[in-house]
Amino acid sequence: MQETLAAWDKIKSGEFDIIISDVTINELDNCREPKRTKLFDFLSEIKAINAKETKEVVSLTNKYLEFGVLNEKSRDDCRHIALATINECDYIISWNFKHFVNINKIKKVPAINKLLG
């Protein structure tokens, strides 16, 4: 938690350009109270660009699924990755160790991106 709070302080300071997707906002909208309000309160502390899902994002999401980055049950996780890729994000911040912070999954994404140009 200390590392997360330290990273959040850097984000609040404007050290990074932050992009938050519609997928993320929808996930937060579906949280139960009081967690939902607390998370949106955190987001209100930062400046962020809202990334919208486009046809290009949908297409890349489908390619990630087709090439087995994740399975259909994890479509939203592929959407997060595709949104980050299309928006040229350098990092995805996540506590999702099953999918995002998983070296086997991480290796597949750049390989697919390179294959697709």
Fold held by 2-116 = Rossmann fold (3.40.50)
pTM score over 0.85: yes
Q: How many whole angstroms separate alpha carbon 73 and alpha carbon 70?
A: 8
Q: How many whole angstroms separate alpha carbon 39 and alpha carbon 56?
A: 29
Structure tokens at 63: 């390619």
pLDDT of residue 99: 65
Q: How many whole angstroms separate alpha carbon 113 and alpha carbon 88?
A: 12
pLDDT of residue 105: 76
Q: Which amino acid is at 92?
A: I
List 19's β-bridge partners, or say none. 49
pLDDT of residue 93: 85
pLDDT of residue 92: 87
| Torsion-angle region of 94 (φ positive above 0: left; ψ -120 to 50: alpha; else: beta) | beta
pLDDT of residue 104: 78
Cα dist from 25 to 39, 49, 80, whole Å: 10, 12, 11
User: Which residue positions in the chain have pLDDT lower than 50?
Assistant: none
pLDDT of residue 4: 86
pLDDT of residue 107: 85
Domain ranges for the chain: 2-116
